[in-house]
Amino acid sequence: DTAVSQTPKYLVTQMGNDKSIKCEQNLGHDTMYWYKQDSKKFLKIMFSYNNKELIINETVPNRFSPKSPDKAHLNLHINSLELGDSAVYFCASSRGRFGANVLTFGAGSRLTVL
């Protein structure tokens, strides 16, 4: 029974298209995140939601729009995809935000923009 599941696992698309990645957690956690991992393996925070409320919005192009319909789901929609958006996107969740809270990650969604 997967704790944090994200779909799709692989996404190959053309520049200019719009795509979405979905994430669900069944851990009862209050906080969810989107991280981007580039080719150099750095994990960078993009967004964080706490009980459906946006609490972190790092310097991310506004082509990226997160949506949290409820605290168990956090989706990521990307408009007008660019080559530089190619990366692995990880969804994660934690019981609370900040501090000593530990993150549980999904398996990642590898986005390739051609």
Partner 1 sequence: SQKIEQNSEALNIQEGKTATLTCNYTNYSPAYLQWYRQDPGRGPVFLLLIRENEKEKRKERLKVTFDTTLKQSLFHITASQPADSATYLCAFNNAGNMLTFGGGTRLMVKP
Pick between residue 17 and residue 91 the one whose CB is nearest to partner 1: 91
Residue 93's contacts (CB-CB under 8 Å, 6 or more residues apart) are: 3, 4, 25, 27, 29, 31, 32, 33, 103, 104
| DSSP one-letter code for 30 | S
Q: Which of 12, 16, 26, 42 binds partner 1 (CB under 8 A)?
A: 42
Q: How far is the CB of 44 from partner 1 (least distance, A)?
A: 8
54 counts as binding partner 1 under rule CB under 8 A: no
Candidates 21-29, 67-75, 76-84, 91-99 — which segment interacts with partner 1 by CB under 8 A? 91-99
CB closer to partner 1, 61 vs 96? 96
Distance CA 111, CA 21 (A): 9
Exactly one of 1, 28, 40, 69 binds partner 1 (CB under 8 A); that residue is: 40
| Cα 52 to Cα 78: distance, rounded to the nearest angstrom | 19
